[in-house]
Each structure stands twice: as structure tokens, then as C-alpha cells.
Structure 1
Amino acid sequence: MIWEVAKEEEGQRLDKYLSEQKDHDFSRSYLGKCIQEGCVSVNGEKAKASLKVKAGDRIDFDIPEQKDPEVLPEAIPLDIVYEDDDLLVVNKERGMVVHPAAGHYSGTLVNAVLAHAGSSLSSINGVNRPGIVHRIDKDTTGLLLICKNDLSHQSLAKQLEEHSITRRYHALVFGKIKEEDGIISAPIGRDEKDRKKQAISYKHGKEALTHYKVLERFSDSTLVECRLETGRTHQIRVHMKSIGHPLLGDPVYGLKNRKDGISGQALHAMILGFQHPRTGEYMEFSAPYPADFQALLEKLRKK
């Protein structure tokens, strides 16, 4: 990767300059390590992370080859809602990462599914994401599809692309929503100020559409059902925040000083429906609220 320092960027430390470039996802600490290992040069010479860049400087970043560790089966209990020769529907618990990635190469849903299904998983998404056709966030609970072969993966991926899969989430959000239902249509992309977050972005974002309806109102919060037409990263969390109703318990997009006694966003993938890839039959499943979501719901009702 190659960059040329603009006049308004002059004076920044090299590691900070690199971390703020928008065409990669590397953290500042990782970039600092790469600089230390000699992977970054300024005007053809190796440089230190503390170097202050100047306007017109040419910066070359030779990205080191990354070798992910082998993903191994782990005997982790799974809440299996449905299973046949083509697919699995599982109810994911809070705190479980869906597939291995940097910092999470064990304890993931994929590790658990490998132990359960062995080699009987689709190969389309490679060795780190066998069987994974869609995902939900680490602290979001609820229903997920796992594909046992490439036929089911191709069929379900097409249904996702065509927005024909039913995905309904229940969420507890801050504030009283006045209307009974609504549609949020706003593109979502990476937050330009914080690369670990998503944000509404009309310049760089991708189309995102969320339908919501009120299920129950409380003194200072609301239970809503959200139906997704698109599946952008953090879509419901970003969209609900954008209309002034962030999710309770959300550590990234929620209210910083509010304590609701739930460790993560109050978001549950409640209903999942799709056409079976082999039979064409429409199938729909639901999962009950996890204990902490239910406890918060009861607390709000009493309040």
C-alpha cells in the first residue's frame, strides 16, 4: 500500500498517520508492530513510529503475510433448535463470537459446530468460517443458520441477497417511541472518527433498511421488533441510535451512564424464516428471550 502525505496531515506521527488512512482495517498497535519489523518505509527508508511525517512524503507499507492459526473443534454446548442433513439452526448465547478472527481463535460458534458436525459443513467461506452464511454480533443473542453443504450455502446466501429470509429481532431501546411503527432507510459505513464503529454515512455507506414496530412501552424505554431487509454490521444498533433510541446495555452506541444490569446490547434474534434449500418448504423458527433480557423486561414492567 502506498500513500502520499497531504499538507493538512503534516506533523502527525507515522503510526497515527497510518491508523487514520481509510483503505485498511489495521489497528494502531498492529501498525506500530509492523513499523518496528521494518514493513513501512518513508521516502524509501525505514522509519520509526514516532517519525513526524511531512507533506509530500511517500509512505510504503508492505503488509506482512498473515497466517491464521488452525481452527479446531471444541466441545462447547450448542442450543440446537433444528437440524437435518443440510443445515442447523442454533440459538446463540450472549458473549459467543460467531467465527474465528484476530483475538478470537477459540471458544467461537464455529469451534463448537466443528465438534458437533465435523467435516460436514459448507466450504464456501473457507476454513475459518465453515458453514457460516450470516452472523450476529458477539453480545447479540438468538437464531443463526449453519450450512452443512455447499448446496444449502448457495441457496441460503441467494435468499439473503434477495431479502427473502425473515429476520426479526426484539430490542429494548431507550426512550418512548411515539409512533406505532416506522422505517429507517439510511446507509451505513465505517465511522470516520472511530474505525471500530459503524455510522450513518451518505458518502461511503451501503444501503441499509430496517423496519420497526412497537411491541410494548415502559416509563423510559420501549420494546420493539426490528425486521431487516439488509444485513449491515451493527445495523439495528446504528439505526435505532440514529433516531434517538439507542439499545439498552449497548457498550458502543448506548448511553454511557445508564446501568440496566445487562452485559451487552438488549438485542435478540427472535424469529428466523427461510425456504429449505432442498425441499423449497418455508420453515420458521423462534427462540425465547435469554434470562438476562427477560429479567430486564420484567424490571421495566414493574418500574
Structure 2
Amino acid sequence: MLIRRRLLAAGAAMGAATLAAPAPARADKFPAGRVTIVVPFPAGAATDITARVYAERLSQLWGQPVLIDNKGGGNGIPAAESVARAKPDGLTIFATSAMTQAVNPAIYDKLPYDPIQSFEPITRMGVSPFVLLVDAKSPLKSAAELTARLKANPGKYNFGAGSLPARVASELYKMAAGVEAVYVGYKSNPQAIPDVQSGLLTFMMIDTTNAKIAIDRSALKGLLLTDGERWPALPDLPTAAQAGLPDLQLTTWTGFYAPKGTPREVVQRINADIHAAAATPETLAKLEGLGGAPKLMSPEAFSAFGRSEKDRWGEIIRRANIRLE
């Protein structure tokens, strides 16, 4: 009888422990609560704007709040680290860009996260070339005129960037054009725009999303974009090759990740729902209005893409000899 009582007690304890243990996230029950999308940029940056479009539609699909947590600064390192350390239940999503996943590994000798090993790729969001911009009221009408001004006064003029990819794009312009200019850093690309307008900065290069916003409100003027074809959202802008700089080719990208260890079925569920969100006419129109159609992928394709982009950006940065001051 004593042995039987002990066995029953042990069984009850095991049952209680089983009930107390956290159950893994299930795709059919996802999401069980509020979802947070961490963005490594301040509000108003291109990745932030696009993530908010998706968050609005995903909240409707999931019947749960989807909040944006802007963790700008530090070239995205604090944001990436916070997601890498988050519980892998699908309730924390990282909406980031090539900066944290491809550029930082080539710039920093040591990072508190690994762009490949610390995350589960969900899907790419979009792809964007860069736009070479000057003040809308500037007398400069072409990239050739900007290049001529910079060559005539080496090191006299400034350029700004609020993200590492934008900095890399500007450095590539300097290399391709054979000019010198002084770098001024900002916390985000939009924060540099007023200084272009004031004349503190002579030029900057940013993604098509923020470039289109600045051009549409007559704040800045575009001189070229770093792609092999003209961009539908900015049809009047010549390509770099058309502007006389065929070697100035560069695109950046954005995408969604989850913490490493997030169940595969949850990752697949989020991927499918992001595809569904992007396919709705209202969301698609908003995304296209920001400068380009979605360029979504499967998790597997996005994983391979991320690895290749890490290598590609690393080679570009080494070739340009870009270093942190």
C-alpha cells in the first residue's frame, strides 16, 4: 500500500510538472497574444514605414495587437541582440535590413549576435536601389554636375548617411566618380534630409522609399539610382549607367526574422500570413506607393539569399576599404 501511494504521488508530481512546463508554440494556435515587431531604426525610416504597413494588416489577420518597437541607434546592434535573446515563440519578430544581417558583419570584428546562427529567416520584404540626392533648390541638375563640383573642391563638401548601407552607397559613388567629400553621420536617413536642404550636406544617398517621400514633397531632387533599370516609382530618374557611372550598382533589402529556435511550423505560418497580407489590394497599393512591389520569399530561399548577401556586402565593403571612424 505504501509503495502504491508513493507511485501515485510521484505520478501526480510528474503530471503537475508536465502541466507547468511551457508548451511549444503551435501554428494552429498562433499567435496566442500580442506580437512585437522590433525595428532597428527610428520611426520614419524606410524599414519602419514598411513594417508598419504589414503590422496593420497582420493585426487584422491574427486578431491580436501587432506593435512596432523602434530600437534605433548603434547600427542596429542593440535591436538585433534583443531579438536574438527573445523567447522563440513567434511573438517577437525582427524587421530589419541588410545593415544588421550583411553590413555589420563586414564592419565589426565582433558582434553580440550572428546574422545566420541567431535567427530563423521568415521572408524578404523588398529590394531597393539607392538614390543620389541633392537639395530640390540646388542648381545642380545631374550627377555629372555634382561630380564636377566635388572634383573642383576635394574635401570641401559634406555628405550624410543615417545607416551603414547608405554610407556604403555614398562611398561607392565617391569611388566611381573619383571625388572626395566629408562624411557626417546621423541616427537615421530621414534625419539628414533637413541638412541637405540647409546646405550643410551637399548630397546623400538613400533607399527609394525615403527618397520618393522626399522627392514627392519637393524637399530633395534625385540625380540617379543605383540599378540597371529605371525604377517604376521614380521613372524620371536615370540609372547610374545612364548618368555616366556604370560601376555604381548597389541594392539593399529588408526582411523578417524570428529568434533562433522558433518552431518551423510557426515560421511557415508567419511567412504564409505575410504573403497573404501583401496580396490584399489595399496593402499592395500602400507598398507600391512606398517605392516598389513586395519581393517576398520562402524561408528556405530567404536563408540562402541572406548568406549570399552577407558575402556580397562583405566584398563590396572590403573593396571600398570602408571603416568605422
TM value normalised by structure 1: 0.24
After TM superposition, the score normalised by the length of structure 2 is: 0.23
Between structures 1 and 2, the one with greater strand share: 1
Q: Report the structure number with the largest CA radius of gyration.
A: 2
Greater RCO, 1 or 2 (C-alpha within 8 Å, sep 6+): 2
